[in-house]
Structure 1
Amino acid sequence: MDKEDTKHIIKERSKAYATQLWELIRDQVNKHPAETSAKNRPVPPRKTAEYKWLLNLLVAAPYVLVVTFTLSFFWDFDGLSATFFEYSFNFEGLLRILSISGLIGFLTNWLAITMLFRPTHRRPLLGQGLVPSQKDRIAYRLALAVSEDLINPEIIKQKIHESQAIARYRKKATVYVKNIIDDPEFRDGLKKLVVGYVDEMIADPEVRSSIAKSLIEQIDDAIEENSFEKVALRAYSFLKGREMQDLVENALQKLPTGIEKGLNRMDHFLDELPEKLDEHGSVIEDLVTSLLYKLINQLDVQALVEDNLRAYDERKLEQLIKNASNDQLKYIQYLGAVLGTFGGFIIWEPMASIIVLSVIIGSVILADMLIFSLKKKNQP
């Protein structure tokens, strides 16, 4: 067996024992689950309309307008007129004017909201919805805003520093490691693994010979030629009547027994390990912080957000926006029917309608300002 084959055997056996060591550690990790301190942030509740009945009332407006428009074909205040304060009002055709104006207001708002999202894919004549057609630009602008103002390396570093997260988790990690290494089952398994690894390696004559040869080469390289140490080694080999290779291999054969006797030192090392981790806690924290900062500096937040938004399905994006603002979109849609109906009054009688609508709108605005002011004063 040549040197390369021996190295391959050592490498494969080392991998096998490394796998066993990992399984031993994994079993201990499963046996001692780490405490999870992450808290799930509550989902912000969807803001619903304060006056739900008003939305339900507005939903009926398009249906009422359709019925009114249908009725106008059979009866529409035919020949009906009236005089108020010497001002003559002709009601003939009013139903059709109001119903058409209201339906136009409803349909234009419905079309505007629909065109935000549909069609999802470009059509030859219908084009494409605003959000799908501008998805790349929206993704870029949103990612830019997120990376500059919300999540960037400097903000992440600041939050890590302010929260003292590394120090807290280092302390928790030390306690966690202590719980694992204090487990007698873990220590017994680790000792058996070490002894088994050394015993299997030394038991193979080819491997033992390769290790001995490597040790001799390292000793020769470390000792100067014609030095006292090298002369002493040669004299020792001559007096024993054996080659240095045989002497080293013989010493290696006794290695497993020596390791078994010295395993109490491993216990001593494991006992001191948590204390050593605490003693060098600041060094560990500085090292972890430095590595974490290097990782953060290499993190391109803008590209990460932009790529994820670009890959986001248009229908999912539409559903996301609608789920967050469905009531408000419905208000806009159905309110168009009411505003369109008011527009019909202006078409019918411009001057009188403008005066009445101005009074109504002004009253609503003043009432809103008054209520808002009162609520603001009552807030603590």
Structure 2
Amino acid sequence: METTRILFIIIISGLIGYFTNVLAIRCLFRPYEKIKFGPFIFQGLIPKRKDEIAEQIGIIVAKEFVQEDDIIGQLISQDDEIYFRSFVSDKIKSIVLEKTSFLPESIQFQLVKRLNEKVEKESPKAFNDFKELAENQIREKIDLQVIIEEKIKELDLKEIEVLVLQVASNELKAIEILGLIMGLAIGIIQALVSLYLL
């Protein structure tokens, strides 16, 4: 009879430890909406602090992981100068041929040739000026922190929950098992205390 009581205490303690951790993990997300119970208000930790979490993630990502200069460097690189020069050259050729269609082809050819030589000479500076202007415009108009923050705020809470549970399923399962082990350990201590001291 004493053995049954000890086993009962150990099993109940283990189950309490397990289900307490399961409930704690679920309470990270649920309930999604505020529930009033008298003077108390219940809401999942992540839904309750979603805006604050979004803001903090935005700050961390924008300052520590992805900076504007990294993105700008990917958008406009020195390699793009070739395409820039080719684009300008083709535009000039098209405009010259259109506007001087009344002239003989040899003169048109000479005009295009001279203008292209000028483009070749001036294009590095023109490209750098364009690159600097574009970079400044991007810096003024794009705020990575705000973009990230808004995107997180737009996420559906169910989607966030599914994502977190998928990514951290092994770790969360380990926390649940740890609750069971700790509960069993506490149950054993309680059983020993009740057996020898009471």
Same fold (TM over 0.5): yes
Q: After superposition, where does 1:2-151 map in structure 2 within 5 Å?
A: 78=1, 90-125=2-37, 127-151=42-66
List gaps (5 residues or longer) in structure 1: 1-77, 79-89, 196-257, 352-380
In the alignment, structure 1 residue 304 sits paired with structure 2 residue 150: no
Distance 1:276 1:344 in 2: 87
- TM-score, normalised on structure 1? 0.43
Structure 1's 341 and 164: CA in aligned 2 closer, same or farther, altered over 3 A? closer
Residues 101, 341 of structure 1: 8 Å contact kept: yes
Residues 166, 288 of structure 1: 8 Å contact kept: no
Residues 106, 334 of structure 1: 8 Å contact kept: yes
Q: CA deviation at 1:273?
A: 6.0
In the alignment, structure 1 residue 327 sits paired with structure 2 residue 167: no
Distance 1:320 1:274 in 2: 55
List gaps (5 residues or longer) in structure 2: none
Structure 1's 274 and 95: CA in aligned 2 closer, same or farther, altered over 3 A? farther
| 1:315 paired residue among 154, 158, 178 | 158
Distance 1:339 1:168 in 2: 60
In the alignment, structure 1 residue 288 sits paired with structure 2 residue 130: yes
Structure 1's 127 and 271: CA in aligned 2 closer, same or farther, altered over 3 A? farther
Structure 1's 301 and 164: CA in aligned 2 closer, same or farther, altered over 3 A? closer
Distance 2:158 2:111 in 1: 59
Residues 102, 344 of structure 1: 8 Å contact kept: yes
Q: Secondary structure at the match of 1:132?
A: helix
Residues 120, 129 of structure 1: 8 Å contact kept: yes
Larger gyration radius, structure 1 or structure 2: 1
- TM-score, normalised on structure 2? 0.76
Structure 1's 274 and 313: CA in aligned 2 closer, same or farther, altered over 3 A? farther
Residues 175, 274 of structure 1: 8 Å contact kept: no
Structure with bigger RCO (C-alpha 8 Å, 6+ apart)? 2
In the alignment, structure 1 residue 170 sits paired with structure 2 residue 81: yes
Q: What CA deviation, in whole Å up to 9, does each residue of 1:155-192 have, x standing for no partner? A: 448x73xx8953211124445777x78xxxx97xx96x
- Residue 371 of structure 1 corresponds to none
- Tell me the number of residue pairs that the alignment of Structure 1 and Structure 2 aligns: 188
